[in-house]
Structure 1
Amino acid sequence: MSNHSSAHTRRMKKIFKPALAIVILVQMLLSWNLAQAAVQCDSCKSASGEAEICPPASTTGFTAVEYPPEFLVQARASRNTMLSGYTRRDPYLDFTIFLMDREGDSRDDDIKDMAQSVSGVRSLHEGVLMFYSQRGTLNVGGQGMASMDLGFLWKDKRTGEHFVTAIWGVPMGRRMLKIWVTFPPLDKGAYAARKEITPEVEEILAQICK
């Protein structure tokens, strides 16, 4: 495994550590009218014949992350039924797709789930600033789906370089699709950088179930 993939895996290991739910996630999530949809995938079926959600095996310009078997076991123990990662060096972008069993089927359950993501980012990095938190719509598999959107700005304490981590949570029936994307804002502000990267994220997500 490359050093870059190893670093990606180390970051993911920290995400799976237990985290306290944050009481004040964001007011917008509390008023979010949950809209659920299921992506149907005729070409990807489980052993029982149920439609599955399938990430692309590869995507142009990115290297697929190869996770060690023991890490995949840990991921499955943390409600992840699918984990897929992609990285790019120039310009840098680290992209991970999680498909998780939902803790419950209510809005409050989903808010608690996203709060764990907030805790995960804060456990990974020091001085994390949440600059973005809204409900939105994300294009997944060619279908616009209701999402919970978070954005964080943080600084690498070793290099002093700033990074943005954007997280999307998309309830899909009995599962939650989570997308974590980390990238440098370069010469842009964090908000502008997140907005600019979203179409590229959707371009990858459009390949789901293809």
Structure 2
Amino acid sequence: MNLIKAEFRKSLIEAVSYYPDYIVGLITDFFILLIVINTEGNTTEKVFGYILWMLASGVISEASMCISTEKQLGTLQNIMIKPYSIAQIVTVKTVVWFSINVIKAIITLIIAMLFFGIENLFRAEYLYITIFVCIGIMGLSYVLASVTLMFTKVASFVNIISYGFLFLSGSIVKIPDVLVYTNPISYGVKYASLILENGLRLTDTIIFLSICASWLLAGYLIFKFMFNRSKQFRWTY
């Protein structure tokens, strides 16, 4: 609990200090929203996919950026001797920034509903799907963080990976069905549409939770393996 409070306080200070960056981010999100709304397909489904991507992209990047920053500041070694494991610290940082990004997502939802007349965006099903998708995507975040432990510059390419998931969300272009089952975001959007069409079905729920759980577990195991291996090499700065 102390770790969560400390990280939340630190993140709020950073957010206030660099508020112009967040304003620019909101404007960028708005322009992407315009693109999403004006592409073919179910508008509600596409906007939900976009919001899902907004939140998941923050989860993807935060851990890697955290490791990269600490390495460049020369304080990564200090983190490792704290009473909390590096996995705990990375997880808490990600959860805190996810909470802050929720505010951006809500603003985007309100804009979509008020100015573009898109309905049914605030649904309980969407909330629980978003939470589990972001938990699953945390696995990829662990993988990127572990690679960044050895190669700091990897963090520079995280945004490219993140925008790749924007396309996998189906918000910009329709993706092949075979890709839908490969990651939490793609299937999360499909799962939401299945719930709206057919109601909550056990088979669809099992597939959804299995994809999210497998990504989280695989990512965490890779993180542990890479973290142990990284101690045997000289970290690159």
TM-score, normalised to structure 1, is 0.24
More helix by share: 2
Quick check: which has more Rg, 1 or 2? Answer: 2
TM-score, normalised to structure 2, is 0.22
More strand by share: 1
